[in-house]
A = this chain, B = another copy of it.
Amino acid sequence: MGRALLTDLYELRMAASFRRRGMDAPATFSLFVRDLPPERGFLVACGLDRCLEYLEGLAVDDDDLDALTALGLDDLTTAALAGLRFTGDVWAVPEGRVVFANEPLLEVTAPIAEAQLVETYLLNQLTFATSIASKAARARLAARDKALVDFAFRRTHGAEAAMTVARASAIVGFAATSNVEAAHRFGLRATGTMAHSYVEAFDSEQKAFRAFAEDNAANAILLVDTYDTVGGVRNAIAVITQLGLGDSAGIRLDSGDLASLARDARRMLDDAGLTATQIFASGGLDEYAIADLLTAGAPIDAFGVGTRMGVSEDAPSLESVYKLVAYDDRPVMKLSTGKATTPGPKQVFRGPQGDVVALRDESPPVGAEPLLVPVMRGGRKTHFDSLAAAHDRFESDLHHLPEPAKQIRNPSPPPVVTSAAADALTTAVHQQLIGRDHAPEV
């Protein structure tokens, strides 16, 4: 699809109007999440890679202009959009970093028409990837040292969403994905077991297990709950023993009381000498269920996490915004009820005392590190990253995250303060706007 059409119509209308009026001064927009959902103690920045790829490739071409004309835009508007590309600078928090509400994830500085046009896509990509990475990170916390596998593909919001989910969950430490295209595209480990349908296609469960184990001897995970779970475990033990696959095989539980079934299965496997045979659990799992299973001492070695992580079931969106904070060197803000924003380009300094949202050009507090780094200059990417580096950043930030933020139930994020200079600027701009706009200008 043409990148220039991947936007809301109002972005194009505003961009055209700015260009028709010669308003080409630089504007800075700040993208951040206003409030965390109650079920989140932190967010994990994700989605930057696709944003930079989009910005580099954005160009309004003749096909786009024809499409816009067909949609009813007038000639002056389409003419004003001709040739538009993204030529600006971007600062952003690298993928994998832990962030909180009101901390800019990304700031764009560009001629205002360009900076405006990209709002829709940047919000779309960062909001979704960040919400999934944040949800998946909680599964990672709940699972402790157990392995996690992304099983979400069948229930994500389309196939492209499944790719984002696989990538985001890998960044926060999922060991593998069931998603073949994502594994291929991002260099992830793909894993897969078997479905009930495979068992049902054979005359008996044991024949099905034997066929699957013969054809997949290197990694035969047998699904034992098609008919009766305890009977299924018994059939699996028979096949694993006959084929001598104890070290490479496993069983999967997908329904019922997983804690109790896992204990029964572990005992049966151990009694048969299959102490290395792993127990895999799946079926409606999320961080809450995983935490409960491990607290209950369920002997489960790996968890398949699907739908609830893949759609971020308890918080399927984030309250992300992309706000103009400066135009032509003038800090700006809006005053709408409950939606006022801090003006000016920003930086987030993370230090021993916690995070400070400051103005971009402030000096960092002693011992503090800036979270936003330059990632694009003059429309060209200057930040080259890898999934492994993003994962390392996540692990390091997770290590330093206060315990209350990491709680699965009733988490609470650490306080984030605004710098004195940012507060002073907010007050000054606020006063100026109130003085100006309360009197009608008719």
Contact = CB atoms under 8 A, between A and B. Distances in A.
Nearest to A127: B155
Contact of A16 (B71, B215, B322): B215
- A160, A255, A310: residue with the most chain B Cβ atoms closer than 10 Å: A160
A438 B235 contact: no
Contact of A17 (B2, B212, B227): B212
A52 to B, nearest CB: 15
A403 B235 CA distance: 50
A320 to B, nearest CB: 7
A442 B235 contact: yes
Contacts of A204: 436-437, 441
A168 to B, nearest CB: 11
Q: Which 5 A-B pairs have the closest CB atoms?
A: A9-B192, A10-B192, A157-B157, A197-B324, A160-B160
Interface string A307-343: 1101111001110101110010000111111110000
A437 B228 CA distance: 8
A42 to B, nearest CB: 20
A77 interface: yes
B158 A124 contact: yes
Given A9-B179, A119-B195, A124-B155, 17 more contacts: A12-B192, A13-B216, A14-B198, A17-B198, A21-B211, A27-B197, A71-B183, A123-B155, A127-B154, A127-B155, A157-B158, A157-B164, A158-B160, A196-B336, A204-B441, A206-B442, A254-B336
A267 interface: no
Interface in A195-233: 195-201, 204-206, 211-212, 215-216, 218, 225-229, 231
Q: State the oligomeric state as a number of copies.
A: 2
Given A124-B162, A159-B124, A317-B307, A191 B440 contact: no
Interface in A236-279: 238, 254-256
A150 B332 CA distance: 29
A5 interface: yes
Nearest to A15: B198
Interface of A: 1-2, 5-14, 16-18, 20-21, 23, 27, 29, 67-68, 70-72, 74, 76-77, 112, 116, 119-121, 123-125, 127-128, 151, 153-162, 164, 178-181, 183-185, 190-201, 204-206, 211-212, 215-216, 218, 225-229, 231, 234-235, 238, 254-256, 307-308, 310-313, 316-318, 320, 322-324, 327, 332-339, 433, 436-438, 440-442
B156 A228 contact: no
Contacts of A238: 440-442
Contacts of A160: 158-161
Nearest to A23: B201
A332 B200 contact: yes
B71 A120 contact: no
Contact of A231 (B254, B308, B440): B440
30 contacts: A1-B159, A6-B181, A8-B180, A8-B192, A10-B192, A11-B192, A13-B194, A13-B212, A18-B201, A121-B159, A123-B155, A124-B158, A124-B162, A128-B155, A128-B157, A128-B158, A154-B320, A154-B322, A158-B158, A158-B164, A161-B161, A201-B327, A204-B436, A225-B337, A227-B334, A231-B437, A234-B442, A255-B336, A308-B317, A312-B316
A1 B181 contact: yes
Contacts of A310: 317
Nearest to A332: B200
A427 to B, nearest CB: 16
A11 B332 CA distance: 54
A88 to B, nearest CB: 15
B27 A227 contact: no
B156 A128 contact: yes
